[in-house]
């Protein structure tokens, strides 16, 4: 039986080499316009999908592959006698490999292209072919990632394209299309009437890194971040030096950041086991850190420090003789790096300018679901307070209460 591979990719990196490898393994190539043109330019024979189906692309290229000869070829079961007979009757060739990647919707969305341009980059045929091939993975190899080209060729060449590998490629394919649809869903939510609590909440998370262990040494762990998340946070920060961040370091740094980002004045927070041992605001960031650390210097041993201003040389000098696990702030100035760089194990995380989206809901995972609440907190002043005790608070106590709030 003739082996047919369908290649239709937007990201053309490595596709010519992959196509050559398939040809050398005896595959006939079907391809769509741009991909077919690239292959022929490189001297690689490929049949246009429109020539194979007998139907030209229509609607400016919006309909290329949505045809029974394509989807019958992908969805037909190679081991099913009735499928084979029906395909033969309809002149449908069995397609045994599908290599597809999708229009750059995300890139157009991120560059804030005109709406018509963004909509035009919602791929229709691509996800349909990927899903069809992944559904029929026992009969079809589906490839969505250029990084898989080499290992797929090796497996075919060695005759080791077993069901397990096919299933893993199908899993990656379904993840690819699911993520693509969630990105489109996110765009429509933001563009056409966001609801704080929609009936269905779709999210996709991207792995940032594996961690050495979780909260305890016997637990495995990894750090993920919400895809498209633009907020300031540990997952988006750049680590400049120091040991790998631990699970507990990440929790403490997150709590510390959540405190200092609420203040407009220079502010420092010192955190241990997710609890503040000291928080202070002052006219300068060195003074804010000095006060925060002085609040409870014993508890601050092995702490995580967050600043809402650049860490300068003066602040770093105050830290140099202290045992601190992590410092996280918008930026480390040259003088600070010269001082703190001597502490090789100290983790330095740079966030860039703070970005806080108060319009997005706060979410907390519970055993049976997900809690969501709005994040807008009222700003209060002394005139909003009602004294309900016999003794009226002093001016300093009121200032302290408002700071704590």
CATH code where residue 97 lies: 3.40.50.1380
Residues 179 and 240 placed together within one structural domain of the fold: no
Catalytic residue among 191, 207, 220, 273: 273
pLDDT of residue 2: 73
Do 261 and 131 share a structural domain? no
User: Same structural domain for residues 40 and 154?
Assistant: yes
**Mean pLDDT throughout 114-131?**
87
Whether 170 and 143 share a structural domain: yes
DSSP labels, 299-344: TTTTEEEEESS-B-HHHHHHHTTS-EEEEEES-B-HHHHHHHTT-T
Do residue 292 and residue 249 come from a single domain?
A: yes
Checking if the pLDDT of 209 tops 80, the result is yes
Do 279 and 215 share a structural domain?
Answer: yes
- Please report whether residue 343 resides in a domain: yes
Residue 138 maps to a domain: yes
Residue 216 token pair? 């305890």
Q: Strand pairing of 303-307 and 324-329? A: parallel
Residue 283 sits in the same domain as residue 212: yes
Nearest 5°: the CA angle 217, 221, 227 is 160
Q: Which two tokens stand for residue 315?
A: 């602040």
Q: Is the pLDDT of residue 62 over 90?
A: no
Does a structural domain hold residue 364?
no
Q: For the residues of 173-214, what is the DSSP string, one character each?
A: HHHHHHHHHHHHHHHHHHHS---SS-SS----EEEEEEES-S
In this structure, are 64 and 187 located in the same domain?
A: yes
What 3-state class would DSSP assign to 281?
A: strand
Work out the average pLDDT over 159-175.
89
Average pLDDT of the residues in 92-102: 88
Percent of the chain whose pLDDT exceeds 70: 98
What are the DSSP calls for 373-402, one per residue?
Answer: E--------GGG----SSSPPPHHHHHHHH
pLDDT surpassing 80 at residue 61: no
First to last CA, the chain: 74
Distance CA 200, CA 358 (A): 21
The predicted pLDDT at position 382 comes to 82
Q: How many domains does the chain have?
A: 2
CA distance 349 to 330: 8
For residues 161 and 256, membership in a common domain is answered with no
Alpha-carbon span 269 to 204, nearest angstrom: 31
Residue 249 falls within a domain, yes or no?
A: yes
Please give the residue range of the domain that contains residue 157.
Answer: 3-191
Q: Note whether 186 and 40 are same-domain residues.
A: yes
Q: Is residue 154 part of a domain?
A: yes
Which residue among 135, 172, 225, 243 is the active-site one?
Answer: 135
pLDDT tens-digit series, residues 260-306: 988 889 999 999 999 999 999 999 999 999 999 999 999 999 999 99
The yes-or-no verdict on residue 189 having pLDDT over 90 is no
Same domain for 75 and 142? Answer: yes
- Asked, for residue 387, whether it belongs to a domain, the answer is no
Domain finish residue from 159, 191, 223: 191
273 has catalytic annotation = yes
Structure tokens at 16: 């010519």
CATH number of the domain where residue 270 is located: 3.40.140.20
Domain termination residue (choose one: 169, 191, 213) = 191
Q: Are residues 163 and 220 in the same domain?
A: no
Q: Which of 158, 191, 224 is the last residue of a domain?
A: 191
Q: Is residue 52 part of a domain?
A: yes
Which residues are CB-neighbours of 266 under 8 A, at least 6 positions away?
281, 282, 283, 284, 285, 287, 288, 307, 308, 309
Q: How confident is the model at residue 320 (pLDDT cuts 50, 70, 90)?
A: very high
User: What number is the average pLDDT over the span 73-88?
Assistant: 81
Q: pLDDT tens for residues 225-250?
A: 887 777 788 888 999 999 999 999 99
Helix, strand, coil distribution of the chain in percent, nearest 5? 40, 20, 40
20 is catalytic: no
CA–CA separation, 262 and 359 (whole Å): 15
Domain assignment present for 386? no
């Amino acid at each position: 039986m003739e082996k047919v591979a369908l290649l239709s990719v937007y990201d053309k990196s490595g596709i010519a080499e992959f196509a050559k490898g398939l040809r050398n393994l005896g595959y006939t190539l079907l391809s769509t316009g741009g991909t077919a043109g690239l292959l022929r330019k490189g001297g690689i024979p490929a049949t246009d999908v429109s020539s194979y189906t007998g139907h030209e692309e229509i609607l400016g290229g919006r309909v290329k592959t949505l045809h029974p000869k394509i989807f019958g070829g992908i969805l037909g079961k190679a081991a099913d006698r009735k499928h084979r007979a029906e395909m033969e009757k309809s002149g449908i060739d069995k397609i045994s490999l599908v290599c597809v990647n999708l229009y750059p919707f995300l890139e157009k969305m991120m560059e804030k292209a005109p709406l018509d341009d963004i909509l035009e980059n919602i791929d229709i045929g691509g996800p349909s072919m990927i899903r069809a091939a992944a559904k029929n993975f026992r009969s079809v190899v589906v490839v969505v990632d250029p990084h898989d080209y080499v290992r797929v060729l090796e497996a075919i060449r060695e005759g080791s394209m077993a069901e397990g590998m096919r299933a893993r490629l199908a899993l990656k394919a379904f993840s690819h299309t699911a993520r693509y649809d969630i990105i489109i869903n996110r765009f429509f939510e933001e563009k056409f009437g966001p609801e704080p609590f929609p009936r269905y909440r779709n999210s996709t998370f991207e792995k940032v890194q594996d961690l050495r262990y979780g909260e305890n040494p016997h637990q495995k762990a990894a750090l993920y971040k919400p895809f498209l998340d633009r907020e300031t946070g540990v997952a988006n920060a750049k680590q400049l030096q120091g040991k790998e961040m631990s699970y507990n370091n990440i929790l403490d740094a997150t709590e510390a950041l959540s405190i200092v980002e609420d203040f407009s004045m220079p502010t420092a927070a010192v955190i241990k086991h997710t609890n503040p041992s000291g928080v202070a605001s002052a006219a300068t960031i060195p003074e804010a850190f000095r006060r925060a650390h002085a609040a409870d210097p014993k508890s601050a041993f092995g702490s995580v420090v967050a600043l809402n201003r650049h860490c300068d040389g003066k602040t770093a000098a105050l830290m140099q003789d202290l045992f601190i696990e992590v410092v996280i702030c918008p930026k480390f100035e040259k003088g600070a790096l010269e001082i703190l760089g001597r502490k090789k194990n100290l983790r330095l995380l740079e966030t860039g300018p703070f970005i806080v989206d108060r319009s997005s809901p706060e979410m907390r995972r519970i055993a049976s679901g997900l809690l969501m609440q709005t994040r807008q907190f009222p700003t209060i002043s002394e005139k909003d307070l009602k004294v309900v005790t016999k003794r009226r608070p002093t001016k300093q106590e009121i200032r302290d209460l408002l700071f704590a709030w």
